[in-house]
Amino acid sequence: MKAVLGLEDGTSVVGDGFGVEGETAGELVFTTQMTGYMEALTDASYTGQILMFTFPQIGIYGVDEKNFQSTGVRALACVAREITAVPEANGPLGRYFAEHGLLGISGVDTRALTIGTREQGALRSGLVCGDDATPEHAVELARAVPPLTEQDLIPAVSTPAFYAVPGRGGRRVAVLDLGIKKNMMVSLLRRGAEVGVFPHDTPPDVIEAWKPDLLFVTNGPGDPVRATAPVRTVSALIGRLPIYGICMGNQLAALALGGSTYKMKFGHRGSNQPVRYRDGRIFITTQNHGFVVDAWSLPEGADASYVNLNDGTAEGFDVPDLEIHCVQFHPEAHGGPRDSEVHFFDSMLGGR
């Protein structure tokens, strides 16, 4: 099946489509991870984006549904240099895409597309899969889709209703769900926590009525400044509950304190990002974000305690007096070492 990927700058590439015929449009982003492609594709933070893998071959071990981070693929589409037709284990990626109505393109120069993204920044893109696909239509789709900064994406990935998961005598954790990943729940439950998961727009008094020991704000898609309801909730609970945040949760906590965020040129996405903690330790982290906290905007008393060693951007902060502890990276993902998971979740849950 023919497929065409078009960018808003007029660039287009023709490749082999996999999955089903159809079309979609959204921001084109790339990830540098070499494994964990299904964890990435099912991460709700990729909602509204077309995900491109820089590693030249994906699908080697097939579709491992036990490692899905949500109920299914959240990225709008997949872009790859090559997908494995007959993996060593599990079902092939192409077949999974076809059975679930998903779109993908392979056989394209992902290196050139990645270099272009690094030079120009993340661009809107359109993907058309089908023998009638044309570059003109793919570019037209790219130019027609609203920028990520103009889309409200969190309501579609947040839980529609509260639910609770019993623990083993650990702390009572209220989770404000902006698109939670499965591994976050695993990290909480492994430490005995009792977890209550709340929709993104839950008022603060409803959360407090559950009598939690702390508030945990999750990852999520899109521009944090559009998440006005969660920011209001977090702001109201500052000083009333300890607050922990990951990725989008980190950004919303900063906004609730009066800080600011900004859109990065092409973001951080991959499993090998070095982060230095204030005590000198280096964590090799997994990341997925296109927005970041402006460290200089944080109020007095906030310690920008984590920094990305590649570009110096903020990777988290602490406000000890208010019991706020947030990171931009994903400690629950632990692409290899588990030290960042232990560091973050043990500090939250007392090492249980």
- Which residue among 289, 325, 330, 334 is the active-site one? 330
- Catalytic residue at 326? no
Token pair 């990777």: residue: 315
Q: How far apart are CA 79 and CA 8, in angstroms?
A: 16
Query: CA nearest 300: which of 269, 257, 332?
Result: 257
Long-range contacts of 324-327 (CB under 8 A, 24+ apart): 324/238, 324/242, 324/243, 324/244, 324/245, 324/253, 324/257, 325/242, 325/243, 325/244, 325/245, 326/217, 326/243, 326/244, 326/245, 326/246, 326/249, 326/250, 326/253, 326/254, 327/245, 327/246, 327/247, 327/250
- Which residue among 27, 194, 315, 332 is the active-site one? 332
The shares of helix, strand and coil residues in the chain, as percent rounded to the nearest 5, are 30, 35, 40
- Which residue among 78, 129, 247, 326 is the active-site one? 247
- Catalytic residue at 330? yes
- Catalytic residue at 332? yes
Q: What radius of gyration do the chain's Cα atoms show?
A: 20
- Residue type at position 177: D
Task: Output the 3-class SS for 154-166.
Answer: HHHHCCCCCEEEC
Q: Which residues are marked as active site?
A: 247, 330, 332
